[in-house]
Structure 1
Amino acid sequence: MSKALELPRFSIGVGDRFAHQAKAQLTACIFAARAGVEVVPVWNKSNREHTIIGSEPVQTRAAADAAVAALGWTKPYFLDADHINLTTVPRFLAPSDFFTIDVADLIGQPAKEADVAAFLARHPELIGEVIIPGIAEPFHTDAAFVSRVANKFLAAVQHAGVIYRMLLENKGIGCFVPEISMDETDSPQTPVELLIILAAIADEKIAIQTIAPKFTGRFNKGVDYVGDVAQFAKEFEEDLAAIAFAIKTYGLPANLKLSVHSGSDKFSIYKSIHAAVTKTGAGVHLKTAGTTWLEELIGLAESGGDGLALAIEVYAEAYAHSAELCAPYATVIDIDPAALPLPAEVETWTSEQFTSALRHDQSNPAYNQSFRQLLHVGFKVAAKMGDRYLKALEANEEIVAKNVTANLFERHIKPVFLGQ
C-alpha cells in the first residue's frame, strides 16, 4: 500500500493563471531548499479562473508535472482544487490531490436544533473553563455560547463532511490533502471558537491537514495587509495553540496546520508568521502567494517594445472595464478611482514607469496600489487576448521567469520561511 499523502510542514500555494510559470515558481522552492528549508509548492487555480480563461485543471497538472520533471524536483508537490463545492468539484477530481473545501455560503446558516444539542452532549469539555496550553488565560464558556458557535458553523462543517466523503469515494483514503476554508465570515474566530469548529470537523471524521480561519484585518488581493499587526500576531499564535490542542484532544491529523488565504504580498505580517512557527515548531501554508500574473506583466513591461505595448494595452482595457472586472472581487480590493492614471497617460510611460507603478515595492514613491489592484483583477483582459498574450510570454520567457522567481523567493519565501 502506498504511503498516504501528507502535506509537509511548510508549503506555498502558487497560482499560475496561464500555466506558463511553473518552472519559474518551482525554481523559487529549489532556492529555498538550497538555503536550508523545504517549502513545497501547491499549484492552485480556482474554478472561476478556469472558466474565465477557458482552461481545464488537467492543464495545470500538466504544467506542474512538466516543471517537476524538467528541474528534477524530488520532494512533494500538489495541485489544489481551489475553493471547490459539490457543483464544481467533478472537473478537478482526476488531476487534483489537494482540495480546498469551500463552505462559505453555509457559515451562519442555522444548524438543526437536534444536531446542536447532540454536539453539546458529545462535547462537555467545551463548556465551563477551557484551558488551551500555550494561551495564558483560560476561556470561560457556557452552553449558550457553545450553542451559538455551533449554530453558526455546524451546518457548514456538516456540508464539508458531505464533500469530503464524496472525495473519499472518488479519490480513496490517503490520496488527497483536504483543507477547509473558514475565512469568509464576519469576524475572526477566537481560539475557543476555532476549537469548537475543529471538534465539529473531528466529529465528521474529516482528516483535514490545513484550515483557513478568519484573521483580523483585511487581506486584499495582491497588496499588503491592512490592520493591527500586533493583534494578528496574537491571533495567529493563539490559533496555533488551539490547533495543537485539538490534534491531541480530537485525534485530528498530526500535521494539521494553519492556512493563510490571500497570503500574497502580506509583507507586514510575514515576520509575525515566521516568529510564531519558529517558536512553536508548527507548520504553515501560505496560499496564493507570489502574484504570478502581475509578475508576468512586469516582465513584459520590463522587456520594452511589444511587451511594454501589450502591458499598456492590458491596462487600458482593464481601465475601460473596471466595474465589470472588480465586481467579483469587491470584498477583497480597495481601489481609489482617483489614483488610477488615465490610459492616455500610461501610453506615454517607459518600461521603468510602468514597472515602478506595478511592482510591489513600497519604498518606491511611484508604486501605485490602486493601479496594481486593478491589474490584479484584470487577467480576464489577457485571457481574451488568447494566443497573442501567451506568445508574448513565450517570447519574453527569460525576463518574465526572472521576475516570477525573484518575487516568490525574495519577497515571500525568505521572510516567511527563512526569516530574512
Structure 2
Amino acid sequence: MSGLKLGKFSIGVGDRFAHQAKAQLQACVLAEKDGAEVIPVWNKSNREHLIIGSDPSSTRAAADAAVADLHWEKPYFCDADHININTVDRFLAPCDFYTIDVADYIGKPAEQSSIDAFVKNNAGLAGSVRLEGVDESFEITTDLLEKTAAKFLFAVQEAGKVYRKIETAKGKGNFIPEVSMDETDYAQSPVELLIILAAIAQEGIPVQTIAPKFSGRFNKGVDYVGDVAQFEREMALDVAAIAYAVKHYGLPDNLKLSVHSGSDKFSIYPAIYRTTKKYGAGVHLKTAGTTWLEEIIGLAEAGGDGLALAKEIYAEAYAHREELCVPYATVIDIDPQKLPTPQEVAAWSSQQLTAALRHDPHSPAYNSSLRQLLHVGFKIAAKMGRRYLDLLEAHEEVVAKNVTENLYDRHIAPVFLGRPSPADKPGAVLHHAEAK
C-alpha cells in the first residue's frame, strides 16, 4: 500500500477551541514512553466550526505547533470529521484524514440495476461464510444480500462520490479515508458490515477505518449504557469481518475498526483492549469532546476568575438547556431533576464543582446530568470569545494538566496498554506520575 498509512493504534481527539493540542499530544508522548505507539488524529466537525466560528485551518495550525513544540516524529493527522459532499470543500486544504459520514443515506435505495449488479458480482458470498478466529459461521442468502444492498448500497455510493472529490483535490494516497455509519438508529450486524465492505471495495474506496454503529447507548461524555459482553462479541465479529474483507476484496491491509465513543466509554475499554490483543487487530478510538470539559474542570480548579467563569458558563447553559440539547437529543440522557440550580452552583467551592463534573463513576459527587449539559454547552463559551480564551491561556498549566491526565489515564492507558479502567473499581486510575 503506497501513500499515507494510518498506524495500528490511533486516537481521535477533539480540541474545540484549538488550545489543547500540545496537552493532548503529551498524552501520546507518555504512551510511547510506556510502549504503545498511538497516532494522534485531531478531529473537528463542520458543525463545531460553525458554532465556534473557527476554520479547519485553525485545527491544522494548532496540531502543527504542538508537534513542533514536543518534537513529535511519528505521523499525525487532521480529520475532517463527519463531512459529506456539501461540507467537504473547506476541509480539502488543511486536512489529511476524512471521516465520510453517510448515515443519513442508510435506507435510501439505490437504483435497482445497481442492486442487481452488486448481488450478481458478489454471488460468491451466498452460502455459509466462516470468519477466521471466531467460532461462528453465517448463512448469507441471496435474499439477505439483496436486502442489505437495498439498505446500504446507496450510502456507499454517496461515500464514493465524496471520496472521489477528495482524491481529485488531494491526489490518490495523500489522505486517510474513513467511512462512518455510526450516527444512525440501528446497529449494523457483522454480516451487514461484511456486505458493506464488499460494496466499499466495489466502489473503489481504499478505506483505512470503518465506523459502524454498535449496540448500546454511546451518549456524549458519559459511560456506555448497554451489554458489555454483547459489545465485545460484536467487536470480535466485526474484526473478523474486516480480516475477511481485506483477504477477499483487496481492501488495505491496515483497515481497522473506528469506535466513535462519544467520549468516556470506560466500561467497554477493557473489552476493546482484549479484542485487539486477542486478534492482533488495530483500532481507532475517537474520543473527542471531553477536552472541552477538562478545560472547564481546569478553570474551576484554578479558582478565582477561572472558577467564576466556570460557574457563569453553567448558569448560561442551564438557562438555555433546551436549546443546547436539541441537536444532541439522541446522544444525551439528562435528568432535569438532577441538575443543580445556578444559585446552588454559585455557592459551590472549587472542589465541589470539579467533583460534580469530573468523570469519576465511583465518586458520590459525580453528576452525569450536569456533565452532559456542560458537554453540549460549549456554544456558551464560544459566544464569550476572547474572554474565555484569555482565561484558558492565563490558567494554561492547570488546564493542560487535566487535559493530559484525562486523555492518558482514562482513555489511552486502558484501551492501548490494558491498564485498569476508571469503571473497574475506585482508585483504579492513577495520574501518570503516580503510576510509575
What is residue 65 of structure 2 aligned with on the other side?
A: 66
Contact in 2 for aligned 1:334/1:370 (Cα 8 Å): yes
CA spacing shift, 1:146–1:241, aligned 2, 3 Å: same
What is residue 17 of structure 1 aligned with on the other side?
A: 16
String of CA shifts for 1:364-412, please: whole Å, max 9, x gaps. Answer: 1000000000000000000000000000000000000000000000000
Contact in 2 for aligned 1:290/1:407 (Cα 8 Å): no
Contact in 2 for aligned 1:289/1:408 (Cα 8 Å): no
What is residue 130 of structure 2 aligned with on the other side?
A: 131
TM-score normalised per structure 1:
0.99
Contact in 1 for aligned 2:264/2:287 (Cα 8 Å): no
CA RMSD of aligned residues (A): 1.0
What is residue 104 of structure 1 aligned with on the other side?
A: 103
String of CA shifts for 1:139-181, please: whole Å, max 9, x gaps. Answer: 1121111111110000000010011011110010110000000
Contact in 2 for aligned 1:290/1:404 (Cα 8 Å): no
SS at match of 1:203: helix
SS at match of 1:288: strand
What is residue 88 of structure 1 aligned with on the other side?
A: 87
Report the CA distance between 1:87 and its aligned residue.
1.0
Within the alignment, does 1:387 sit opposite 2:386 as a pair? yes
String of CA shifts for 1:3-38, please: whole Å, max 9, x gaps. Answer: 611000000000000000000000000000000110
Which residue identity lines up with residue 43 of structure 1 in the other structure?
W
Contact in 2 for aligned 1:109/1:155 (Cα 8 Å): yes
SS at match of 1:146: helix
Mean CA deviation greater in 178-187 or 6-15: 178-187
Aligned residue runs from structure 1 range 121-200, under 5 A: 121-200=120-199
- For 2:108 and 2:195, the matched residues in 1 are separated by 16
Within the alignment, does 1:309 sit opposite 2:308 as a pair? yes
What is residue 76 of structure 1 aligned with on the other side?
A: 75
What is residue 44 of structure 1 aligned with on the other side?
A: 43
Aligned residue runs from structure 1 range 263-412, under 5 A: 263-289=262-288, 291-412=290-411
Report the CA distance between 1:262 and its aligned residue.
2.7
String of CA shifts for 1:225-280, please: whole Å, max 9, x gaps. Answer: 00000000000011000000100000000000000013520000000000000111
- For 2:89 and 2:12, the matched residues in 1 are separated by 21
Which residue identity lines up with residue 257 of structure 2 in the other structure?
L
TM-score normalised per structure 2:
0.95
How many residue pairs get matched?
A: 419
String of CA shifts for 1:29-72, please: whole Å, max 9, x gaps. Answer: 00000001100110001000000000000011000000000110
String of CA shifts for 1:70-122, please: whole Å, max 9, x gaps. Answer: 11000000000000111111110000000000111100001111111101100
Displaced runs of 4 or more, over 3 A:
none
What is residue 434 of structure 2 aligned with on the other side?
A: none
SS at match of 2:287: coil
What is residue 32 of structure 1 aligned with on the other side?
A: 31
Contact in 1 for aligned 2:212/2:258 (Cα 8 Å): yes
SS at match of 1:409: helix
Contact in 1 for aligned 2:289/2:375 (Cα 8 Å): no
Which 5+ residue runs of structure 1 have no aligned equivalent?
A: none
SS at match of 2:244: helix
- For 2:128 and 2:285, the matched residues in 1 are separated by 33
SS at match of 2:100: strand
- For 2:366 and 2:392, the matched residues in 1 are separated by 23
What is residue 428 of structure 2 aligned with on the other side?
A: none
Mean CA deviation greater in 165-174 or 259-268: 259-268
- For 2:5 and 2:383, the matched residues in 1 are separated by 38
- For 1:399 and 1:388, the matched residues in 2 are separated by 18
- For 2:185 and 2:360, the matched residues in 1 are separated by 31
Which 5+ residue runs of structure 2 have no aligned equivalent?
A: 420-436
Which residue identity lines up with residue 87 of structure 2 in the other structure?
T
- For 1:143 and 1:185, the matched residues in 2 are separated by 25
Contact in 2 for aligned 1:263/1:286 (Cα 8 Å): no
Report the CA distance between 1:184 and its aligned residue.
2.4
CA spacing shift, 1:141–1:3, aligned 2, 3 Å: closer
Contact in 1 for aligned 2:128/2:137 (Cα 8 Å): yes
Which residue identity lines up with residue 383 of structure 1 in the other structure?
A
- For 1:45 and 1:118, the matched residues in 2 are separated by 37
Which residue identity lines up with residue 10 of structure 1 in the other structure?
F
Report the CA distance between 1:290 and its aligned residue.
6.3
Contact in 2 for aligned 1:37/1:418 (Cα 8 Å): yes
